[in-house]
Amino acid sequence: MTKSYYLTTPIYYVNDAPHIGHAYTTLACDVLARFKRLDGFDVKLLTGTDEHGQKVAKSAADAGVDPKAFTDRVSQNFRDLADAMNFSHDDFIRTTEDRHKTASQAIWKAIAAGTSPKGNNNIYLASYPGWYAVRDEAFYSEAELTIGADGKKIAPSGAEVEWVEEPSYFFRLSDWQDTLLEFYDANPDFILPKTRRNEVTSFVSGGLQDLSVSRTTFKWGVPVPGDDDHIMYVWLDALTNYITGVGYPETETGEYATYWPADLHMVGKDILRFHAVYWPAFLMAAGLEPPKRIFAHGWWTNEGQKISKSLGNVIDPHDLVDKYGLDQVRYFLLREVPFGNDGDFSPTAMINRMNSELANDYGNLAQRVLSMVNKNCDAKVPEPGALTDADEALLSAARGLLDKVRDAIDVQAFHVVLETIWGEIRAANGYVDAQAPWKLAKEDTGRMATVLYVLAEAIRHLALLTQPFMPEASGKILDQLGVSEEARTFEFYGPDHALVAGTFLPKPEGVFPRFQEEAGKDGG
């Protein structure tokens, strides 16, 4: 039976202009989804836009349009980003869709119908007096706030807070503390990386307060079932997208039955608490299973500075792709920092990676081997003779890569995957230098054919593995090796599907050009 793999990106605040941070979260998921598809899984990758709440309502009012017309327009920005980055999502959800209203109201009813582990109603009506940050769409206690430069109170995220006092439904989160702690204990890899897990467990161990889950002072949201004066708290609505995407409230058949619980919710570290504390509590309260893993990645800065509209240093992924190339940007973002840590973008770092690892290491390996085959082997896969120890060593290392890479992928260690692949690329370049096939072309064409065959076969393995990261460039390398479209999944990894001598190969062309700053352009 085919194994399923369901993974999600956060849904993006629809009113923001897409930037490198948004591209990063989805890119990580896209690479995972592509890897799992190649590895034979039935994958569903869900992304979309978060369209309700006070923040979006305010942006629409500022733009002078009603919120529905506003979100219809700006949601497209995130579809455009997905196209520009070559993302392969299977579904794009908008929280203003009917299917999502249905799912959100259904989860509310399921939570309200159940009792907490301490035998209380999960949801009760009271009044919320406290601090709210519209930018974060989050409530804060007095103790969490500090005083900003202008004397105003600010949240730990830096967002301004406002005093809110209104009738509100509460979710009895305080009763779920022990159940959550037991769940984290029983599922040690539920939150990755480990340091983030420790943050969450110590937060929960410190005690939980009930959570306000409805608002009455504005209307842009999903109405609370049975009480139209209230709309659902935007985070409860937003988190529910992950089950809307698999057809909730239908749970017995269809996609929910196939895909839930999700294998992974990928999030940035800023929204971990919502995903690792509130979301599993909501789900358990509704009698549903929590997801299998939350991975919280780090944040990108721009040349050491926090990325923000007010600083004017937002990096537009479209500009990066235009300037450096799509696969180059995809590679850089996942190679530059250990996944989970914060990263810093700078043109120098980008160009260094492009020129040394893509152009010099990978591009040069493919280009010189394919050019020699073209020139010296009648543009056909050469016929190998007997293999030496050095030949066997290179090939067996290439064949062994998939298992290593798979282990790293399963803990979202993208940097380890790329380091592992690049270890083999460097070994292959070392082998080229040691074997010197250009000399063999004059002295021993039989041995030259063997060396070029071994290299071409090693490159086939490398290109199969780089497909999830750099689909276009890897596809071009596989084209140039004469590997058919159907023979590019990991089923074809290993010696059983080796290149067939005599296969005609197209004319090779470089895949990773060196980046040269155009004269007259400023350095950025």
The answer to the question of residue 25 lying near ligand ME8 (CB under 6 A) is: yes
* Segment holding 44, helix H or strand E: strand 42-50
Q: Which is nearer to ligand ME8, 314 or 402 (CB)?
A: 314
Q: What backbone torsions phi and psi does residue 306 show, to the nearest 5 degrees?
A: -55, 140
| Straight-line distance from the first to the last Cα atom of the chain, in angstroms, rounded to the nearest whole number | 51
List, in order, residues 6 or more apart from 463 with CB less than 8 Å away: 366, 474, 477, 478, 481, 483
The answer to the question of residue 11 lying near ligand ME8 (CB under 6 A) is: yes
List, in order, residues 6 or more apart from 350 with CB less than 8 Å away: 320, 324, 328, 329, 332
Q: Which is nearer to ligand ME8, 21 or 317 (CB)?
A: 21
Residues 48-87 touching ligand ME8, rule: CB under 6 A, are 50
- Distance between CA atoms of residues 288 and 281, nearest Å: 10
Select the residue interacting with ligand ME8 from 270, 361, 444, 479 (CB under 6 A).
270
- Distance between CA atoms of residues 192 and 199, nearest Å: 11
Q: What order do you get walking across the sheet with 227-232 strand by strand? A: 214-215, 227-232, 223-224
CA angle 245, 250, 253 (to 5 degrees): 100
Question: Is residue 70 within 8 Å of 240, Cβ to Cβ?
Answer: no
Residue 514 CB: number of other CB atoms within 10 A? 14
Residue number closest to ligand ME8, CB atom? 268
Select the residue interacting with ligand ME8 from 56, 82, 213, 271 (CB under 6 A).
271
The answer to the question of residue 24 lying near ligand ME8 (CB under 6 A) is: yes
Beta partners for residue 6, in sequence order:
44
**Binding segment for ligand ME8 among 170-178, 262-270, 346-354, 408-416 (CB under 6 A)?**
262-270
- Distance between CA atoms of residues 481 and 504, nearest Å: 9
Question: Is residue 450 within 8 Å of 230, Cβ to Cβ?
Answer: no
The answer to the question of residue 89 lying near ligand ME8 (CB under 6 A) is: no
User: Helix (H, G, I), strand (E, B), or coil: what is residue 306?
Assistant: strand
The answer to the question of residue 10 lying near ligand ME8 (CB under 6 A) is: yes
Instruction: Find out whether the peptide bond into 437 is cis, omega within 30 degrees of 0.
Output: no
The answer to the question of residue 268 lying near ligand ME8 (CB under 6 A) is: yes
Select the residue interacting with ligand ME8 from 5, 7, 15, 16 (CB under 6 A).
16
**Any idea what DSSP says for residue 137?**
T
Select the residue interacting with ligand ME8 from 6, 22, 131, 173 (CB under 6 A).
22
**Binding segment for ligand ME8 among 225-233, 253-261, 264-272, 381-389 (CB under 6 A)?**
264-272
Nearest approach, Cβ of residue 225 and ligand ME8 (Å)? 20
* Segment holding 205, helix H or strand E: helix 194-205
Residues 98-127 touching ligand ME8, rule: CB under 6 A, are none
**Binding segment for ligand ME8 among 15-23, 57-65, 209-217, 359-367 (CB under 6 A)?**
15-23
Nearest approach, Cβ of residue 138 and ligand ME8 (Å)? 10
The answer to the question of residue 21 lying near ligand ME8 (CB under 6 A) is: yes
| Residue indicated by tokens 């990773």 | 512
Query: Residue 86 corresponds to which amino acid?
Result: N
Select the residue interacting with ligand ME8 from 5, 6, 7, 13 (CB under 6 A).
13
**Binding segment for ligand ME8 among 27-35, 268-276, 477-485, 513-521 (CB under 6 A)?**
268-276
The count of chain residues that interact with ligand ME8, using the rule CB under 6 A, is 20
Select the residue interacting with ligand ME8 from 5, 6, 12, 87 (CB under 6 A).
12
Residues 285-314 touching ligand ME8, rule: CB under 6 A, are 299-300, 307
Nearest approach, Cβ of residue 412 and ligand ME8 (Å)? 14
Q: Which is nearer to ligand ME8, 12 or 128 (CB)?
A: 12
**Binding interface with ligand ME8 (CB under 6 A):** 10-13, 16, 21-22, 24-25, 50, 238-239, 241, 267-268, 270-271, 299-300, 307
